[in-house]
Each structure stands twice: as C-alpha cells, then as structure tokens.
Structure 1
Amino acid sequence: MTSTAVTAQEAEVVHRQLGREPRGLLGVAHRCACGLPDVVETAPRLPDGSPFPTLYYLTCPRAAAAVSRLEGAGVMREMTARLADDPELAAAYARAHQDYLARRDAYEPLVGHPSAGGMPERVKCLHVLVAHSLAAGPGVNPFGDEALAALEDWGRGGPCVSVAPVILAAPDDSREGSR
C-alpha cells in the first residue's frame, strides 16, 4: 500500500491514539476496519534532526496492546530461534528487511542503515513488524504476517478513539480481513 497524505483530522486522530503529538508524521500507511489510521509512516529523521529508523508506526492502542500481549508471551524469542533453524524463513526475513530499508531510504537514507524491529538477525519489536506487514501487504514480512494471523480484528469494535468531528475514511481492504 502507498501511504496517503495526513489530513489535520487524521493527525488529530493519531494524536488521540498515541496520547501525544505524533513526531515526523509523513502519511497514513494503513487503516483498520473502522476506517481510522492504525499505521502511519514517520520520517527517518525527526524534526529535531535525530534519526528515527521506524518508518511504520503502529498507532491504534488496541492493536498495540494486542501485539504487546504476543510479545509478553515470548513469541519474539521463538521467532528468533526459528531464524537459525530455517534458512528459507531467514532469507524471507532478510528480504523483508531490505524492503523496509528501501521504503525508508526512499525518504532519506540513514547512516549505517539501522534496522527496525531487529531485522534481519532477530525479532526485537513485533509492533514494527506488524506495522510493516499492514503497510506493505501480505507476503512481505513473514513474522509480521504471522503475528497478524494470531491477532483478533482490533477494529471490529469500532473506533479506538473518539472520532467526532473526524470524518472516517473508507477502510483499507488491501489486506484480506482488513484489521
């Protein structure tokens, strides 16, 4: 999926979701089933000039909480261990890393090409991997896809934050069972 420019209303929704002003906001990369942004693109360098390697940022508090529960259950350790035992999985994860870097570097290459989410050697942050899967679509990030398959649809219960007077956009249905 290609991100869309952020409207003032969407920026306000993201502010409500995060409980703070979003930093380096570039675009909406994915929307949940309720129509609100759940993944945004952030600049590789924040307004103060500091590098920020996390291009895709999961903003929906319901999604973030669900991913945190997976992390707490030890899923990241298991995924990292599988990298050593499964060369095909390791190669797919390395390709996901290259995809992530290419998308981020299209905005601004960061010195040393710092990783996001622990890619490609380990799984450090499922939030980043899930956000990458939602933004890029299925088949790009194997661990992001796995984590998504383990999660319930966080948008099913309606908006995660108050949306008045925000006008909802049509949900992104580029991913089967859009979240």
Structure 2
Amino acid sequence: MSTESTTPAPGLADDDAAAVHAQLGREARGVVEVAHRCPCGRPDVLRTLPRLADGTPFPTTYYATCPRLTGALSTLEAQGVMREMTERLQDDEALAEAYRRAHEAYLADRAELGAVHEIDGISAGGMPTRVKCLHVLAGHALAAGPGVNPLGDEAVEAVGQWWAPGPCVVPTEDGWERR
C-alpha cells in the first residue's frame, strides 16, 4: 500500500512527514515537531499547534501517530483501564495531585505554542479529574519523559514494547508502506 505524501507537513522533515502520512493514512495537521521517536527511529508522537490552520481549536498538543502504539492503547481502553484509573484518582490523593501537576505541565507546554481562548484551562485526555483518552496521556508521557504524567507513564508501561516487531512504516520505491 503506497501512502506517499505530496505536501510535507509544516514542522516535519520530508522523511518524517512521509512516515507520519503512512502511519495516519493522511497528512498530519498543525505539526510543530516530532515530540517523541519510537525506538525504531520513526515518529510516534507529534507536538501540534493549539489552533489548526482552518481556525479550529485543537487541545491535543501531543498526538500519538504510531498505529501499533495507538492500537495497543485502544486495547487498554476497551479493557476498562480508563475507568479503573479514574476511580483511583478519587481514592488516591497523591496520584490525584501528580495528575493535576501533569495537567498544569500540559497546559504550560501548549501555552508555549500560543493562546487559544476557547480551550483555556482545558488540557486533554480528561485531565485533571478523570481519564478520558489514554492516547493523549501516553503521548504526553512519552514527549515529556517519565515522571511528568503518572497515568500516561502507566499506560506506556502497560502497552509494553509496541515497537518490537520493527517499524510500523517502511520506505518503498513508490513512497511508504504501513506494516
């Protein structure tokens, strides 16, 4: 399957833009930079603008792109992990405080990219009081590094070595192919 991109995404080198296009099946929007690379070397998390080119507010500052990573996170979501994490936030004050700090760190990271009044004070993934999207939390954890987002760290640990089978996309003669 060829998924060649004709227009590089702003904020990405041509090779990275092509790899992300193959991962997503479309061009990435609002990209500032690769926020994290998979151990295979391909982008797996992008940092995105808080407002897309068409004017739409976009609160997802850290966007997971690797289909193996996102698939593994979707499996965790289907298993009820988000509900269990949200329940723990109600019972564990230290975890709730660390998650609140993750929310504040996320907002600070996004504020570096510009203010968008429609999403002021709103991070993503359900922070700071619930867990709504493991993809966002894991993306934040991978981009920020261990210890910043405790539930994101847990999600990353729970998915294991999503990269072990090798790159999720590979270059071909006519573009890139998703594996």
TM-score, scaled relative to structure 1: 0.87
Q: Structure 1 residue 113: deviation in Å?
A: 2.4
Residue identity (%):
59
* Unpaired runs of at least 5, structure 1: 167-179
Which protein has the larger Cα radius of gyration, Structure 1 or Structure 2? 2
SS at match of 1:143: helix
Whichever structure has more strand as a proportion of its residues is 2
Residue 93 of structure 1 aligns with an amino acid whose one-letter code is Y
Which structure has more relative contact order (CA 8 Å, sep 6+)? It is: 1
* Unpaired runs of at least 5, structure 2: 1-10
1:158 corresponds, among 142, 162, 166, to 166
Q: What are the residue-to-residue correspondences of 1:30-179 with 2, within 5 Å?
A: 30-111=36-117, 112-164=120-172
CA-to-aligned-CA distance 1:77-99 (integer Å, 9 cap, x gap): 00001111011100000000000
Q: Distance in 2 between matches of 1:114 and 1:16?
A: 30
CA-to-aligned-CA distance 1:26-53 (integer Å, 9 cap, x gap): 1001111110000011110001011000
CA-to-aligned-CA distance 1:57-78 (integer Å, 9 cap, x gap): 0000000000000000000000
SS at match of 1:22: coil
Residue 25 of structure 1 aligns with an amino acid whose one-letter code is V
Q: Distance in 1 between matches of 2:60 and 2:34?
A: 14
Q: How many residues align?
A: 162
Q: Structure 1 residue 9: deviation in Å?
A: 1.2
TM-score, scaled relative to structure 2: 0.87
Structure 1 runs (4+) deviating above 4 angstroms are none
Q: Structure 1 residue 109: deviation in Å?
A: 2.0
1:12 corresponds, among 18, 34, 54, to 18
